[in-house]
Chains A and B, each alone.
Chain A
Amino acid sequence: MLFVSYEFIAFTILLFVLYYLLPKKCQWPLLLIASYVFYWIANPYYLIFIGTTTISAFAAGVLMDKAQGRADLAIKAAKEDGSYTSDLKKALKAKAKSSKWKILLVSMLFNLGILAVTKYTNFVITNINKFLEDGAALKAVDLIIPMGISFYTFQTVGYLIDTYRGTVKAERNPFKLALFVSFFPQLVQGPISRYGDLSKTLYGEHKFTEKTFTYGLVRILWGYFKKVVIADRIITAVTALIGDTETYTGAYVFIAMFFYAFELYCDFTGGIDITIGIAQCLGITVTENFNLPYFSKNIKEYWNRWHITMGSWFTDYIFYPLSVDKNMLRLSKWSREHLGKFWGKRLTVYLSAFIVWLATGVWHGAAWNFIVWGLMNFAVIMISQELDPLYLRFHKKFKVKDKAGYGVFEIIRTIFLMSLIRMFDCYRDVPMTFRMVGTMFTRFRLSTFTDGSLLQLGLGSSDYIVLAAGLLIILSVSIYKYRSKKDIRDRLYDTPWIWYGAMSFLLIITLLFGAYGHGYDATQFIYNQF
């Protein structure tokens, strides 16, 4: 059931009605049923995977909790019978930690193993076959890749690590944990929620309020507007541009780069808007995943604003643990002693960052283009970090940093750089991407923009007008948020005519100008495949 389908809309409306009609204590069980029905409709076999992940995570969480509980009880008992010493406490805590670590390791390996086998087996086979003779080549295996497996596995692993760390208590109700893992709006493409955040509102009883509900509706409409009016319209040109790499070189690659940047932005943020909007209609708060990423002035800032929950997941669960890992600390010490101050300071940080970006690339897909994409991000971030002193000297001399024009330049530069790196995702082939990007500099024809070539990409002039107007609306709303640091809904809500008028406007322009329905291929969200 695609988000952009009549069935999904009917499914969601029915859920809203039941959610607020049934007794409040039935709300979270209803969401669980709805989530499993949603997943079952996609493919009944998916339930085996998500069910296995849930059961294993539930068991691991409870076992970790029990191990901790046993230690706490033993300490308490020792305090009561007078045998308590600080050494005993340390020993008991160390034992509990060791048990928890083993449970965590097993459960993580199990769940990440499912992810690895389903998503990466054929990638590994393909690469092994490159070293084998034709007759000895391994056959690709036909495996089901459950929808959203990367998202719910990471969310579950986050829950396990948080339980291990003691930042959250293990969930003792398996059905509640099942809902956390499978909550349907975010199952398709995230965000990757933390148990500590989502559980605050996921299981609560929610009373219908006009404000919360209509805030959610506006967010849903905004998401559909971005998805069907912009992303699903511009995809026609993107598909044409990347589909014929012989014809569409030079300036066309430049166009493809920016078109894809807009498509991905509207597709991914639109999908997240729908997710967060549905949750909001249900009174549930889902973590924001974007914060005006195309207003970033450098790549580091960009990654703090784009796919925030994924970035923070990698930071919290991979980068930091790696940075304070005993072996890393040992390596840091060794590098300071043997490689000097420069590398001593950098080696472990770079190594941790390298691993994180490699993992980020692998998480996005089982293909070299994603791995190279991840490593390109790593390279650019590291290089810009190394160039920091140079920037400082430049700004000291020229005093342009606070000028608005320079800010705009920084934003455009970041968008260009990120879009350039994303070409690996766009062409899905590393040598091809290098070749195509090369033609941007060797075969660039300015006349491509003026001689009507843009009208040969499957979009007519009216499509370009819709795209321009749509992007202008998105830009205006974004500028408002960037400058005022406020949600535009807060401004509109107090004037009912404007509030409901805005909803009506969004609904009508989405229905009229959207690229949906018969004659259009309903497109799944790009991030659904990750």
Chain B
Amino acid sequence: MKKRIVALISVLVITGIILAFLSCLVMPKYMSGIIEGSLTEEYYDDKAPHEVIFIGDCELYENVSTVELYREYGISSYIRGNSQQLIWQSYYLLEDVLRYEKPKVVVFNVLALKYNEPKSETYNRMTLDGMKWSMTKVNAIKASMTEDENFVEYVFPFLRFHSRWQELKASDWNYLMGKEPVSINGYYLRADVRPETGFPEPKSLTDPAFGSNAMMYLDKMADLCRENGIELILVKAPITYPYWYPEWDQQVSDYAQEKGLTYINYINEMDAMGLDMTTDTYDGGEHLNVYGAEKFADHIGAYLTENYDLTDYRNVPGVAAIWAEKESLYDSILQQQLSEIAQYGELMSFGKNAIEE
């Protein structure tokens, strides 16, 4: 009997190790091409304190240069953003932030208000898989799951991604035990340029009112910030497509007024910040490139510095040292992209069409 028990325990341990290894192997690495899946988890590795937290979708993580904010104003910030990040995900990511630190200002991009229910499993996974386990993550998953998703597959991601054994690439082996940062404090840098050439006419809205679920999470976010003494700023990033309807703008204005919050629609300030959509966007105007993101950072940085009591971390040696590394990473990513553009005429290791190893 003793022999059987030893064999059983040994096999259980070996099976656990094999499954853990396979799980690490088949999990998407998001190190090239679509890198957004890496953004959530990178937050936990950052050692610098953050007085400003940006929460939202691609309109923030591609449009605000965190390094520029530091360089120009000494603001230490982080963008907790992901592709099509839904408002309840933003709320739970904010709740997650509060488990580790208490920022002075939270900037939330309001475009996500247009979504009232879970949309896409792929985006859910990219946003949620990187979160550390806590009740916050459990609630975020529950709020985000589409009909054909199963909670078990979040607990054991191997069950979700096991079929990736058929599509393993060199990067799956290279980043098996650890990954390199792909963002600079949540900012996804793009140095290529593709000018805006116009957008389709906006479709008329059948129901201009934001959904009740979305508004409930905006309430929760406002309450959470108030309870923690955090200033919540609602913003609409300086991007005109997808279309931001005047009816939506009015609703957010009314809401901000009612709750005593600040709302800034930066579409109205694009000229003031000097945005030129022939040079400051990398995908025809849907997102800013690094040149546009720096302009937006300059603009919003000035506002934040003027209106909130933020520390100039350039004068805090411990933090400045951390940011020096970030600046170096920022510059090296920029340099790599510029080299690729010079060599190939386009980026080869970034974006949807990137060639993956």
Contact = CB atoms under 8 A, between A and B. Distances in A.
Given A462-B166, A496-B4, A511-B158, A518 B153 contact: yes
Interface stretch (A340-348, A361-369, A502-510): A502-510
Nearest to A460: B166
A210 interface: yes
Interface string B1-40: 0011011101110110011001000000000000000000
A513 B165 contact: yes
A500 B8 contact: yes
B123 to A, nearest CB: 13
A517 B159 contact: yes
Interface residues of A, number: 24
B121 interface: yes
B134 interface: no
Interface string A491-526: 000001101110110011001111111111000000
Given A499-B7, A511-B162, A518-B121, A504 B153 contact: no
Given A460-B166, A496-B8, A512 B22 contact: yes
A210 B8 CA distance: 11
Interface residues of B, number: 26
Contacts of A462: 165-166
A434 interface: no
A442 to B, nearest CB: 36
A508 B166 contact: no
Nearest to A465: B166
Contacts of A519: 163
* Most B CB within 10 A of own CB, among A504, A508, A513, A520: A504
Interface string A206-219: 00001000000000
A508 B11 contact: no
Given A210-B4, A518-B150, A503 B11 contact: yes
B283 interface: no
Which of A463, A508, A511 has the most CB atoms of chain B within a 10 A radius of its CB?
Answer: A511
Contacts of B170: none
A397 B14 CA distance: 59
Contacts, number: 60
Contacts of B121: 518
A462 B11 CA distance: 28
A496 B18 contact: no
Q: Which of A460, A462, A496, A519 has the most CB of B within 10 A?
A: A496
Contacts of A463: 166
A6 interface: yes
Given A504-B15, A507-B15, A508-B15, A514 B162 contact: yes
Nearest to A501: B11
20 contacts: A210-B4, A460-B166, A462-B166, A463-B166, A497-B10, A497-B11, A500-B10, A507-B15, A508-B18, A508-B22, A512-B22, A512-B162, A513-B162, A513-B165, A516-B159, A517-B150, A517-B153, A517-B160, A518-B121, A520-B163
Interface of B: 3-4, 6-8, 10-12, 14-15, 18-19, 22, 121, 148-150, 152-153, 158-160, 162-163, 165-166
Given A6-B159, A462-B166, A518-B153, 14 more contacts: A210-B4, A496-B6, A500-B7, A500-B10, A501-B11, A504-B18, A508-B18, A508-B19, A512-B162, A513-B162, A513-B165, A517-B153, A517-B160, A520-B163
